[in-house]
Amino acid sequence: MEKIVLISQYYYPDSAATGYLMTDLAEGLVKRGMDVVVYTGYPSYWGVKKDCNHSEYYNGVKIQRLFHFRTDTRTKLGSILHGLSFFSVALLKSLLKPEKRTFVIVTTPPFLPILGWIVHKIRKIRYVIIIHDIDPDISIKVGFIKKGFLTNLWDNVNVHVMENAEQMVVLGECMALLIQQKIPNYTDKINIIQNWTDENYIKPQPKTGNFFAKDNGLVNSFVILYSGNMGVNHNLEVIIDAAKRLESDSFSFVFIGEGVKKKQLVEKAEQLGLNNVRFFDYQPYELLPFSMTCSDVIIISQDKGLDGLCVSSKFYSALAAGRPILALVGPTTEIARVVHSSSCGFVISDYDPEKIANRIIELKDHPELRKKMGENARKILETEFSKESAIDKYYELIKDIKD
pLDDT of amino acid 69: 79
pLDDT of amino acid 225: 98
Distances (CA, A) of 173 to 170, 212, 352: 8, 36, 26
CB proximity list for 192: less than 8 A, separation 6 or greater: 169, 170, 171, 172, 173, 175, 176
Nearest CA-CA partner of 254 in 315, 287, 211, 213 = 213
pLDDT of amino acid 263: 93
In three-state form (DSSP H/G/I as H, E/B as E, the rest C), the secondary structure along 126-169 is CEEEECCECCCHHHHHCCCCCCCHHHHHHHHHHHHHHHHCCEEE
CA atoms of 270 and 272, how far apart (whole Å): 5
Architecture of the domain defined by 3-196+386-399? 3-Layer(aba) Sandwich (3.40)
CA atoms of 94 and 114, how far apart (whole Å): 12
Range(s) within the chain of domains with CATH label 3.40.50.2000: 3-196+386-399, 207-384
Gyration radius from the chain CA atoms:
21
Q: What is the pTM of this model?
A: 0.92
pLDDT of amino acid 90: 95
Nearest CA-CA partner of 364 in 209, 205, 220 = 220
CA atoms of 76 and 144, how far apart (whole Å): 8
CA atoms of 235 and 356, how far apart (whole Å): 13
CATH class in words for 207-384: alpha beta
Q: pLDDT tens, position by position, for the chain (403 residues)?
A: 799 999 999 999 987 889 999 999 999 999 999 999 999 998 876 656 677 889 999 999 999 999 887 776 667 777 888 889 999 999 999 999 878 899 999 999 999 999 999 999 999 999 999 999 999 999 999 888 899 999 999 999 999 999 999 999 999 999 999 999 999 999 999 999 999 999 999 999 999 989 999 999 999 999 999 999 898 889 999 999 999 999 887 999 999 998 889 999 999 999 999 999 999 998 888 999 999 999 999 999 999 889 999 998 899 999 999 999 999 999 999 999 999 999 999 999 999 999 999 999 999 999 999 999 999 999 999 999 999 999 999 999 999 886 5
pLDDT of amino acid 50: 72
CB proximity list for 76: less than 8 A, separation 6 or greater: 144
User: 345 with 224: CB under 8 angstroms?
Assistant: no
